[in-house]
Structure 1
Amino acid sequence: MTSTSTSRPVGELLRQWRERRRMSQMDLAIQADISTRHLSFVETGRSRPSREMILHLAEELELPLRERNHLLLAGGFAPVFAETPLNSPEMTSVREAIGQVLGGHQPYPAVVVDQRWNLVDRNPATGLLLRGVAPELLEPPVNVLRLSLHPKGIAHRILNLGEWRAHLLHRLRRQISLTADPELTELWRELDGYPCDQPEPEIGTGQGQIVIPLRLRRGYRELVFFSTMTTFGTPLDITVAELAIEAYFPANPETAAYLQHQHHPD
């Protein structure tokens, strides 16, 4: 949908997104406070929506900013959301915020990724996770999901690989359903084809678990982490909207003590 959206009528694209969100015309019309008849006319091309109507419907459908621009182009309007390079002067405050989060999370690992899980930045503590990874997987652009599940990546050190793999693939499938990004679909197919000699449980079936942990072998030790995802609030730039910070926290005192010791060996 992403790569061909501007060659299709805006009404057809809106209908496809509505169906992807599993909404009826009535559902969307009520939510957007317009008549079902008007929405039907927009979707069939009998009525040409204004710029404001396209943005209004896109907001109600919770579309990514990139897709809102595609809808505007399909409707004959100029895009309104910029995609500013992260290294540009206008993004200084964003870079500083990222640096503060990454630095403040030491001695625990944290990475910054874009929408397609390509590595944008990381803190030094992630070096602990990357030991033993094949050099070719660290050649830019580094994809952190590929790095996690590839047999020459971190996978051989993940003690609960089946559980962690099921979690990552489930999260990726959900993202695909929200964004319709064909590159993410290709990534999912690649990752799904990687070998795994452990059972992959259904998400949500872990008895007594609060979160799905990452159990990592480090020599004779087992390091256990859980992670959080942080995004920028109310972004109006595509680059910022597609950034996320994944921060790993120790899930037990032993892991915390080991990371603290690695950070301050004396």
Structure 2
Amino acid sequence: MTTTAAIDTGAGPMLRGWRERRRLSQLELALRADSSARHISFIETGRSRPSQEMVLRLAEHLEVPVRERNALLLAAGYAPQFTETSLEDPSMGALRESMEALLRGYEPFPALIVDGTYTVLAANRGIAMLLEGVPERLLVPPLNAMRLTLHPQGLAPRIRNLRQWRGHLLEQMERQIALLRSDALRELYEEVAAHPVPDGAEEDTSGPGVCPIALPLRIEHRGTVLSFLSTIATFNTPMDVTVSELAIETFLPADPETFAHLRSLTP
């Protein structure tokens, strides 16, 4: 995934941009980073060149994504610190096996793993079940979770609360774009946001499966409306760009009917 951050803008303006995005004053950031507001001001205006340690410390307190921390280091004149290793690399073997075991163990409930642009890297049979009936041309790899969900010939026509769920997904993407400043993610957003909501897509907000604690995904499968609560897990303190952008999304049954339906499909 590429980033639009320009390396030649300098680390100071980039750090100021992240501070303003986090709505912190120079004093607040200085207190968190054990520095002074004067020093932060000098760094942001280019009057002082921050050390590598200071760049990383400020990035940590500003919750800058790992990929963007490399960009900050380059802008400050230092070598990138975080590697970007393909999941196919032999060194990632143990991680791949662990994630695949997690997906299998979650069956029959749906679960998948995506990267920073929602490309599906792995999925279990619960996801395959939800994709039944989707045209083959939409299932040609690489699959993209947002495209499959919001495409008019994908899952969208079967989602009973499509307007609500679509709004939730687009808001999620907007937050990611603001955080990662990714051209690829922006293009994906513009693509899926342009898909029209199918005629007759009404909000199903009553009856079994409507959860009072969180917005559920309500989707029809073989004549039964299933209700799921979505959870997303990421890695703590990742030291690799690829790992930092992985997300494991799982779907929990939101009602007894969904639980029973999924269990009935289990061999």
What TM-score does the superposition give when structure 2 sets the normalisation length?
0.91
Cα offsets for 1:173-212 (capped at 9, x unmatched): 2222222223222222222211125478xxxxxx972111
Structure 2 counterpart of 1:230, which letter?
A: A
Secondary structure of 1:169 counterpart: helix
Cα offsets for 1:221-261 (capped at 9, x unmatched): 11111111111222111111111111112111221122112
C-alpha deviation, 1:63, in angstroms: 0.6
Structure 1 unaligned segments of length 5 or more: list them. Answer: 201-206
Secondary structure of 1:112 counterpart: strand
Secondary structure of 2:219 counterpart: strand
Query: Identity rate of aligned residues, in percent?
Result: 50
Secondary structure of 2:232 counterpart: strand
Structure 2 unaligned segments of length 5 or more: list them. Answer: 204-209
> Contact between 1:163 and 1:199, CA under 8 Å: does it hold in 2?
no
Secondary structure of 2:249 counterpart: strand
C-alpha deviation, 1:220, in angstroms: 2.1
Structure 2 counterpart of 1:186, which letter?
A: E
Paired with 2:148 and 2:211, the residues of 1 have a C-alpha distance of: 29
Secondary structure of 2:50 counterpart: coil
C-alpha deviation, 1:137, in angstroms: 2.1
Cα offsets for 1:47-67 (capped at 9, x unmatched): 111111111111011011100
Paired with 2:138 and 2:22, the residues of 1 have a C-alpha distance of: 35
Secondary structure of 2:265 counterpart: helix
Residues paired across the two proteins, number: 258
C-alpha deviation, 1:18, in angstroms: 1.2
Paired with 2:115 and 2:129, the residues of 1 have a C-alpha distance of: 22
Paired with 1:246 and 1:158, the residues of 2 have a C-alpha distance of: 18
Paired with 2:192 and 2:63, the residues of 1 have a C-alpha distance of: 27
> Contact between 1:5 and 1:71, CA under 8 Å: does it hold in 2?
no
What's the counterpart of residue 216 of structure 1?
Answer: 219
What's the counterpart of residue 90 of structure 2?
Answer: 89
What's the counterpart of residue 181 of structure 1?
Answer: 182
The 1:188/1:76 distance shift into structure 2, 3 A limit, reads same
Please tell me whether residue 236 in structure 1 is matched to residue 245 in structure 2.
no
Secondary structure of 1:263 counterpart: coil
Paired with 2:33 and 2:263, the residues of 1 have a C-alpha distance of: 51
Question: Counterparts of 1:192-207 in structure 2 under 5 Å?
Answer: 192-196=193-197, 197=199, 198=201
Structure 2 counterpart of 1:64, which letter?
A: P
Structure 2 counterpart of 1:184, which letter?
A: L
4+ residue runs over 3 A deviation: 197-200
Paired with 2:180 and 2:23, the residues of 1 have a C-alpha distance of: 14
Paired with 1:102 and 1:63, the residues of 2 have a C-alpha distance of: 29
Select 1:262's aligned residue among 255, 260, 265.
265
Cα offsets for 1:60-83 (capped at 9, x unmatched): 110111000011111111111011
- Larger CA deviation: 76-85 vs 13-22: 13-22
The 1:208/1:107 distance shift into structure 2, 3 A limit, reads closer
